[in-house]
Structure 1
Amino acid sequence: MNNENFHPVCHEPPVAHALHHWNEQTKTLSYEYNGEDIISVTIPDSQDVGFRHGSDGSMQSIQYMQQIYITVEKPMWVTMTFRLSADTVNMRPHRARSGQAILAQNGRRLVSGVNGLYDADQDLLIDFNGCRWKWQSPRILQDESGKSVASISIRLCEKPLFINLRMHYYKNHLGYCYYRPWESKPKKKAVAGWCSWEAYRRNIDSGKIAEISRFMAENLKDYGLEYIQVDDGYQKMPLPYDPKLTMAEGWMACDEEKFPDGHEGIVKAIRSQGFCPAIWTNANITNPEFPKYNGDAILYHEGKPMKGEWIDYLYNCTPQTLAKHVTPLFRKLRELGYGYVKIDAIRHLLFDGLHEAVRLGIMGNREAQEKFRAYLQATRDGLGNDVYYLASWGELHEAVGLVDACRICMDANPTWAGVRMQLFETARWFHTQRILFLNDPDHVCVRTKPEWAKSVLSLISLSGELYMLSDTPEAYTEEKLEIIRKTLPPLQSRTAETGPLNLEYPAYAWTKLHGFAVQSHDSPVEPEDITAQEVYNMAGEYPTMDDDHPFSTLWAFHLQQGDQNWCVLGRFATVPLRACGLPLDSLGLEPDAEYHAFDFWKQEYLGKVSGSLSVRELAVGECQIVALRRAEKRPQFLASTRHVSMDAVSVQNVAWEGSSLMVLLSGVPGTVETYYFSESEGFRLQNADCTGADVRCEKDGRLLKAAVAFREKEARLRLNYKEAK
């Protein structure tokens, strides 16, 4: 930082422009924001350099945007360095356009052609345009002070390089007014579990919870399943069953016939199998006598208690009501040992309750917003900071900063309507993923068609969304268990693109036609066939509908782990997809580089590709997952059977030492996984050894297959080569 232009570091980053500074001695131009030089570029031959001063760079005031530019008379290549907060991600400054993959990132990748950086600690988005450029390293680096550092080689000339700075980007530009990452952030952990709702609906009891806990412990716990969540059906109805009680007291009473040992029995059964207990509640008040004894807690209209369309009596959300009925409920759930709480119907408290009160003239818009925020704050006060908090349902601006996850779509089920919704809404709302909260596409029912289950679980796993299963044990055939195991655990991926919501695509145009609004509380939904016409009716018409990859069908997951950098292509047929040539630069890959391509679900090596990749036809609901790794001139790791990421889960480290390839693996003892390696001219495998596992190697065309039988959770594989002289 330049002492002569010293500015203090503010706890809340300022909505103010970055200030320029030109150092004549070093020929360095820098821009300072919030007490730090965030952009610097040295221009050696600088006699005719031009740049915009900070003082005239403001283009907007409230949605603050500053544009700076740099020009030189003599073209030259220079290095420009960005130095930002620890939590910085390479971000495309707009959502995927036609022909572009939706971008996700796991790690600290710098993606080819992605011209933005998002400082998530300061809510600052920077993008650069107008000149040829290239990242100087494959990932964001960290300096000795913990700052994120990324550098580009950029060609300056008489045409301006222009850089946009958008301060308080999610908070002001995208309208998430409660987003203050300098005060709080959602948990970034991966979440995977089982939910009772679409397995049993309200026909749940203690025996079924004990059975599913044992089943999941035997089959999926070792693969990353962590939570068992009891949904609607455990509580004694109506709520509260005694109208003289508080709502907190009412929720503590379980249905004695179904759960004779109450909440203590639920928690004990789940914990005994090594899982974290999770519970569902909602914001509804259903006892018709409640207003008689607790009338000071609810909303009224014209002297009568209000009811909402999708909710019964409505909390008035005053401090007294929240302190009496809401905070104590969630404090008690935490004290009972629940580590995850899902709160349902809060959407209806807002949309069908408080917003309806605005429409009726009972309160104003600002008061309704503040009351809803107060309800959410009261729930978090009860839960504390350690309990995982899922808000259901809706992408709720008021929930930002208080909840860990938001359900982004309505109730899912095993029909194509339900599965497509999960695939499509994951794409629609991806700009919020692990920035504002974790996105929850709702539970997955694997009793659907195998290919459909494979698609939705692959996308949830790779995109890092909340991963919840919801079927009875009988639905988990060995085929379905294998799909689940290969997609557990979900990654900690986050969005690598941002921008306002695109409204050119229909949301939920099909739901009531397909019976979503009138399903029984007691009967789980069963799979159903779908016609081609129904598929296209659900998709609707929009400008890019006839492209090779319409919106929601094409993804690129960029992964970085240690020195390993790779991309996983995901194609998801929300409509049937034709075979085509897919340009690599549409995925954020360098078009002139050469990549090894491996199809995960086909377990097929597709060879080396450059420029574009030939991809196959996909029927509706099918997916294609392909790993793309830049080809090296020696043997290298390519893919595995363990995880759809190929392999951010079981491959902990890969290193070339002398003439040996060293691979640190993690796995489930008693299982066998296959790891694939490229063969290279000039190298011949001499032998392989492995500690913690047994290994058997064989050639398979242009690949080496290493079958690793895990004896322990960690194994060290060593492939020893002889290099030709």
Structure 2
Amino acid sequence: MNPPQDRVLLSDAKIPIVFTNRKDLKIPKVNESITPAKDVPLGYPHGPKTSEFVPPKKRLYGYTVDLRVSSRSKTNLFIAASQDSFPCTPNAPDRLISIYGKPTTTNFDSIYDRASDRLITITGGSPKFVPAKGGYEVAIQGSAKIELKPKYVQDHLGYFLWDKSKPLWPHPVAGWCSWMAHLQQVSQKDIEDASKFMAKNLLDYGYDVIQIDDGYQRASQSGEPPLKPGEKFSELWTEPNDRFPDGLPHLAKEIKSLGLTPGIWVGLFLPLGIKHNEGYVLGKDGKPYRGPWVNYAINGLDKPALEEAYVETIRTLKSQGWDYFKIDTLRHVLYDNYRKAPEYWKSRNQSMEQAFREIMKDIKSVAKDSYVLACWGTLPELAGVPDGCRIGEDVAPDFASIRRSAKYIAQFHHLNNVVWLNDPDYMCLRLPVAEAQTWVTLTALAGGHIMISDPVKDYDAARVDLLRRVGPPMPLRPGNISPAKPDPEFLALNVAKDKQEWTIVARTAWADEDSTKKSVSEFGLDPTQSYLAFDFWDSKFLGVVKKEFAFKSLKQGHCQAVSFRQLQSHPQILGTDRHIGQGVVDLDQVAWTNNTLSGSSLLGKDRAWTTYIHVPSGWKVGSVTAPGSTHQLAGKVLSLTFAPKSGKAKWSIKFNRA
């Protein structure tokens, strides 16, 4: 039940905080701050370094109070928040954090509520946020500063046009993309081979998208020649080149017949010659303005031209059976065309940002329930329209690309499952296995897309195993609610599920690294408690740790992923070899009742999977009920191994006192 509302803090600023144990406390004075708004730093090698867009006279509002009490004084608060809220911090630029559920770990000082776009931060007082009905209970020790930032993402982070009412895409995205596998020489046979391979080896592990990229279309990126009289621009996309002899409807049907989702790439580059030529954006000379990559562009506010140039293509592809749309060159429409013709927009008293949004709105409208990915680069002007955004640059099968991918994951991690689903771009795994392992670790623990792009012949058993062990993707949210720095050495995932909590920490070596000891408090754990440490990739129990943990030495490009579970006095889950989330997707209904540990494990075909259980001193295994499994006790670790099989397996283990 909700606590009594003894005192309402900052009620005039509409901060929903209630004191629950300090009726004697005098309500502190509210301090209001008003500062100019700023545009969004982007930092891509192409185009502007910022979004270069701030609405006229836009201001940022903030409200703070200083709670000044004795250092021994404890103040309990209740923060009202929606179900669409989560604990986080805007103050951790040097470390990357993801969350699943609403963990109570100590590395968070804030609550972000997406429903109201409101951030409440408590600085000082060692706050701990405990989920409760209608919000969070918070205990503060001593003095603290409480701060509210209304319209946090929309205004304070600079996504001024964000429509937060748009629901987030409900499913993780994982699959195969043709681009770096075959570039512009992709063929129908390449897609068919990839579809068969993915259906056979990875569909059971959550990889269900097959996305054709650039190379199937007859439309020319050069913008030449202009369309011929009577030639329909959309048909240059919907009726492919000779490498796709059976056509796109046939291919979409074939992909779907394998249980996969057919996806397709469309670039918004445009030649001259469309029928509704009044829709072209014009330069100073009164002629259609030509910019790099997209050539010419259409004013998104001119609906007939917008339909002919962009939307009709998507409408037809949707009718052909395509259900995943990657819309590319969007940043070039805005930054290389619209922004280069300011006089055009000024003379019409029109907003280029609104025109830009209309392009994506109409595309999403005809795509209906299909996934729409905006590409490439973070595009603040589109916030709230596409389902996902490709936040990074193109990558290749090399270590520099892993580093580049990590840079953009860190910089824009705070947007994932807040504004849209992040796509850090595909991974190329035809590099050394240890580096491929690092790439899938970073991508999986960040919680966005998991897409791959290699010729399928390069997916040997080791690389397939890596992908299986991070699939399906996890629906994670950012523990960092502001940009983090490049080259994150540590990425932590804090999990709360089924009344249990655990943490996975991955360390990445951007250069050769020695072994290093880290306080468990750096990852939100309590240094006064003991934890079971389990190395995921090595499937190895590393012992009981307290206060600090020694990460092993690593060569450049290698990583280590370790899970930590607070030590219990009875048998408990230690870890699994099935999924890097260590229970986020691969364990359900885990419970300890009447000296019995029970639960359900997610399995997968063509590979045996093991759940590891810690059996402390004073306990012994009684009976094991787990059809289709074998078990073995080695020291304090009970291994429960299931034969290859799709779906889930229930299990129950009775323990006796030793």
TM over 0.5: yes
Aligned-residue offset at 1:332: 2.2
- Evaluate the alpha carbon distance shift between residue 352 and residue 711 of structure 1 in structure 2; reply closer, same or farther with a 3 A threshold: closer
Structure-1 separation of matches of 2:620 and 2:437: 37
Aligned partners of 2:187 and 2:563: how far apart in 1? Answer: 43
Q: Distance in 1 between matches of 2:70 and 2:327?
A: 61
Rounded to whole Å, the distance in 2 between the matches of 1:406 and 1:667 is: 31
> 2:113 aligned with 1:119, yes or no?
yes
Computed over aligned residues only, the root mean square deviation of the Cα atoms, in angstroms, reads 2.6
Q: Show the 5 A alignment for 1:171-182.
A: 171-181=154-164
Please say if 1:108 is aligned against 2:84. no
Please state how far the C-alpha of 1:482 moved relative to its aligned partner.
0.7
1:152 partnered with 2:134: no
Structure 1 residues 339, 607: CA separation in 2 closer, same or farther (over 3 Å shift)? same
% same residue:
27
Match of 2:217 among 227, 231, 235: 235
Gaps of 5+ in 1: 3-22, 506-550
**1:258 counterpart SS class:** coil
Shift of 1:721: 0.9
Structure 1 position 187 matched with structure 2 position 169 = yes
Matched, 1:421 2:404: yes
Offset, 1:431 = 1.4
Matched, 1:129 2:107: no
Q: Distance between the aligned counterparts of 2:102 and 2:219, measured in 1? A: 49
Write out aligned runs for 1:235-384 (5 A).
Answer: 235-238=217-220, 242=228, 244-255=230-241, 257-286=242-271, 290-291=272-273, 295-301=277-283, 302-319=285-302, 320-358=304-342, 367-384=351-368
Question: What one-letter code is carried by the residue in structure 2 that aligns with 1:212?
Answer: A
- Structure 1 position 389 matched with structure 2 position 367: no
Q: Distance in 2 between matches of 1:555 and 1:583?
A: 15
State the alpha-carbon separation in 1 of the partners of residues 280 and 23 from structure 2.
Answer: 72
Whether the 8 Å CA contact 1:50–1:71 is kept in 2: the answer is no
2:20 and 2:78 in contact (8 A); partners too: no
Amino acid at match of 2:638: L
Q: CA distance change for structure 1 residues 676 and 86 in 2, over 3 Å: closer, same or farther? A: same
Paired residues of 2:214 and 2:266 also in contact (CA < 8 A): yes
For 2:256, the aligned partner's letter is R
Indicate if the aligned counterparts of 1:102 and 1:555 stay in contact, CA closer than 8 A.
yes
Is this contact kept in 1: 2:98–2:480, CA < 8 A?
A: yes
Which residue does 1:443 correspond to in 2?
A: 426
* Whole-angstrom CA distance in 2 between matches of 1:347 and 1:554: 31
Amino acid aligned to 1:28: D
Q: Kindly tell me: are residues 212 and 243 of structure 1, through their superposed partners in 2, closer, same or farther at Cα, counting changes over 3 Å?
A: farther
What does the per-residue CA deviation read over 1:141-176, in whole Å, with 9 as the maximum and x for residues that have no partner? 4x3xxx3x21122234xxx43210110001111111
2:52 aligned partner: none
Distance 1:431 1:348 in 2: 24
Deviates more, 1:461-470 or 1:571-580: 571-580
Alpha-carbon distance change, 451 to 701 in structure 1, aligned in 2, over 3 angstroms: same
User: In structure 1, what is the equivalent of residue 459 of structure 2?
Assistant: 476
Q: Between Structure 1 and Structure 2, how many residues are aligned?
A: 629
Q: Deviations over 1:627-685 (max 9, x none)?
A: 01011011111111111122322211211121111121221255311111112111111
Contact 1:96 1:103 in 2 (8 A): no
1:281 Cα deviation (Å)? Answer: 0.2
- Per-residue Cα deviation, 1:461-495 (whole angstroms, up to 9, x for no partner): 12111111111121011111111111111111110
Residue in 2 that maps onto 1:218: 200
Query: Residue type matched to 2:342 in 1?
Result: V
Q: Is the 8 A contact 1:594 1:631 kept in 2?
A: yes
Instruction: Give the CA deviation at 1:248.
Output: 2.8
Question: Does structure 2 conserve the Cα–Cα contact (< 8 Å) formed by 1:346 and 1:392?
Answer: yes
| TM-score of the superposed pair, with normalisation by structure 1 | 0.82
Contact 2:122 2:145 in 1 (8 A): yes
Structure 2 match to 1:512: none
For residues 722 and 636 of structure 1, what CA distance do their matches in structure 2 show? Answer: 14
Corresponding residue SS for 1:452: helix
Say whether the 8 Å CA contact 2:276–2:305 is kept in structure 1: no
Question: In 1, Cα distance between the equivalents of 2:353 and 2:410?
Answer: 27
Q: Is 1:208 the equivalent of 2:142?
A: no
Structure 1: distance between partners of 2:449 and 2:329:
19
CA contact (8 A) 2:509 2:559 kept: yes
| CA deviation vs aligned residue, 1:581-616 (integer Å, no higher than 9, x gap) | 011111111121111001111222111111110011
Q: Deviations over 1:112-148 (max 9, x none)?
A: 141110011100000112324434x4xx24x3xxx3x
- 1:50 matched to 2:26: yes
Correspondences of 1:546-557 after superposition (within 5 Å): 551-557=487-493
State the partner residue of 1:68. Answer: 65
Shift of 1:295: 3.2
The residue identity in structure 2 corresponding to 1:719 is I
Q: What letter matches 2:260 in structure 1?
A: F
Cα distance in 2, alignment partners of residues 425 and 432 from structure 1: 11
> TM-score if structure 2 supplies the norm length?
0.90
Pick aligned residue for 1:648 from 574, 584, 590:
584
Q: Matched residues in 2 for 1:63 and 1:108: separation?
A: 28
| Alpha-carbon distance in 1 for matches of 2:449, 2:404 | 15
Query: Which ranges of structure 2 fall in alignment gaps of 5 or more residues?
Result: 36-58
Give 1:208 shift: 2.1
Does residue 81 of structure 1 match 2:78?
A: yes
Shift of 1:622: 0.8
- Cα contact 2:504–2:562 (8 A) shared by 1: yes
Q: Which amino acid aligns with 2:340?
A: E
Asked if 1 retains the 8 angstrom alpha-carbon contact of 2:107 and 2:524, the reply is yes
1:429 counterpart SS class: helix
Equivalent position to 2:612, from 661, 670, 676:
676
Helix, strand or coil for the counterpart of 2:440? helix
**Is the CA contact 2:228–2:273 (under 8 Å) kept in the aligned structure 1?**
no
Conserved 8 A contact 1:460-1:490: no
Cα distance, 1:44 vs. partner?
5.0
Aligned counterparts of 1:587 and 1:267: Cα–Cα separation in 2: 45
Contact 1:670/1:711, CA 8 A, preserved across alignment: yes
Kept in 1: contact 2:493–2:504 (CA 8 A): yes
Rounded Cα–Cα distance in structure 2 between residues aligned with 1:34 and 1:264: 59
- Distance in 2, Cα, partners of 1:670 & 1:453: 21
Gap change, CA 1:630 and 1:243, over 3 Å in 2: farther
User: Does the 8 Å contact 2:89/2:480 carry over to 1?
Assistant: yes
Contact 1:561 1:653 survives alignment (8 Å): no
Aligned partner of residue 649 in structure 1, secondary structure: coil
Matches of 1:236 and 1:361, distance apart in 2: 31
SS, match of residue 472 in structure 2: coil
> Which one is further off, 59-68 or 599-608?
59-68
Q: Is the 8 A contact 2:184 2:214 kept in 1?
A: yes
Aligned-residue offset at 1:102: 1.3
Which stretch shifts more, 682-691 or 313-322? 313-322
Distance 1:74 1:428 in 2: 36
Contact 2:71–2:141 (Cα < 8 Å) also in 1: no
Equivalent of residue 705 in structure 1, options 639, 646, 652: 639
Which residue of structure 1 lines up, in the alignment, with residue 391 of structure 2? Answer: 408
Does residue 453 of structure 1 match 2:447? no
Kept in 1, the 8 Å contact 2:445–2:491? The answer is no
Q: CA–CA distance in 2 between the matches of 1:363 and 1:474?
A: 55
In structure 1, distance between residues paired with 2:119 and 2:248: 46
1:111 to partner: Cα distance: 2.0
Q: In structure 1, what is the Cα distance between the partners aligned to 2:15 and 2:414?
A: 27
**Displacement of 1:35 after TM fit?**
11
Change (3 A) 1:82 1:292: closer
SS of the equivalent of 1:50 reads coil
Residue pairs, 1:568-717, within 5 angstroms? 568-669=504-605, 671-691=607-627, 694-711=628-645, 713-717=647-651
Q: Which shows bigger deviation, 88-97 or 450-459? A: 88-97
- Cα deviation, 1:284-327, whole Å, max 9, x if unaligned, reads 014xxx33855323233314432212232222334231133322
Deviations along 1:224-271, one digit per CA (max 9) or x if unpaired, are: 11111111111123378646334334322211x222232211211101
- The 3 A distance-change label for structure 1 pair 718 and 374 is same
